[in-house]
Chains A and B, each alone.
Chain A
Amino acid sequence: MKIFKMLLVLLFSAVFLVACSDDEPDTSLTDGTQTAASGINDASTSGLNNGSGLSGSEMGGSGSGSGMYPNAGMGPEFSDPNNPLSKSTIYFMLDSSQVQDDFVPVIAAHAQYLVAHPSQHIVLEGHADERGSPEYNIALGEQRAKSVANMLKVQGVSEGQLELVSYGEEKPAAFGNDEASWERNRRVELRYQQGR
Chain B
Amino acid sequence: MAIFRKILFIGLLGFYLPLSYAELTIEITQGIESGASVAVVPFASQNVPVDISFVVNADLAGSGYFKMLNPQNMPGRPTTAEAIRFPDWQAINQNYLVIGQVNEDRGQYNVQFQLFDVANGGQMLGYRMTSSASDLRRTAHHISDLIFEKLTGKKGVFSGRIAYITTTTQGNKRTHQLQIADADGFKPQTIATSPEPIMSPSWSPDGKRMAYVSFERKSAAIYEQTLATGQRTKIAEFPGINGAPAWSPDGSKMAITLSKDGSPDIYVLNLVTRSLIKLTKSFAIDTEPTWSPDGSQIVFTSDRGGKPQLYITPSQGGQEKRLTFSGSYNARGSFSPDGKNIAMVHGNGNDYRIAVMDMSSRSINVLTAGPSDESPSFAPNGSMILYASKKGGSAFLSAVSIDGKMQQKLGFSNGDVRDPAWAP
Contact = CB atoms under 8 A, between A and B. Distances in A.
B46 interface: no
Contact of A134 (B230, B241, B329, B374): B374
Nearest to A163: B219
B289 to A, nearest CB: 10
B187 A7 contact: no
A47 B241 contact: no
Interface string B385-408: 000001111000000000000000
Interface residues of B, number: 81
A133 to B, nearest CB: 4
Interface in A42-61: 42-48, 50-51, 53-55, 57-60
A7 B122 contact: yes
Contact of A133 (B228, B232, B375): B375
Given A132-B347, A136-B331, A37 B190 contact: no
A18 B123 CA distance: 14
Contacts of B195: 55, 57-59
Contacts of B131: 30
Given A135-B287, A139-B285, A177-B390, A43 B128 contact: no
A33 to B, nearest CB: 6
Given A10-B122, A37-B187, A46 B231 contact: yes
Contact of B393 (A3, A11, A175): A175
Contacts of B217: 53, 57
A134 B129 contact: no
The SS class assigned to the B binding surface is strand
Interface in A1-32: 3-4, 7-8, 10-11, 14-15, 18-19, 23, 26-27, 29-30
Give the interface residue-count category, chain A: 35 or more
Given A47-B232, A131-B352, A176-B393, A54 B197 contact: no
Interface stretch (B5-13, B35-43, B134-142): B134-142
Interface string B212-238: 001111111000011111111000000
B374 A14 contact: no
Given A46-B230, A131-B372, A132-B374, A170 B199 contact: yes
Given A40-B189, A167-B197, A30 B138 contact: yes
Contact of B214 (A34, A54, A175): A54
A62 interface: yes
B184 interface: no
B128 A134 contact: no
7 contacts: A26-B142, A40-B191, A43-B228, A134-B375, A163-B219, A165-B220, A168-B199
Interface of A: 3-4, 7-8, 10-11, 14-15, 18-19, 23, 26-27, 29-30, 33-37, 39-48, 50-51, 53-55, 57-60, 62, 65, 123, 130-136, 138-140, 142-143, 163-168, 170-171, 175-177
Given A14-B126, A130-B390, 6 more contacts: A3-B121, A23-B129, A43-B226, A47-B230, A130-B372, A132-B345
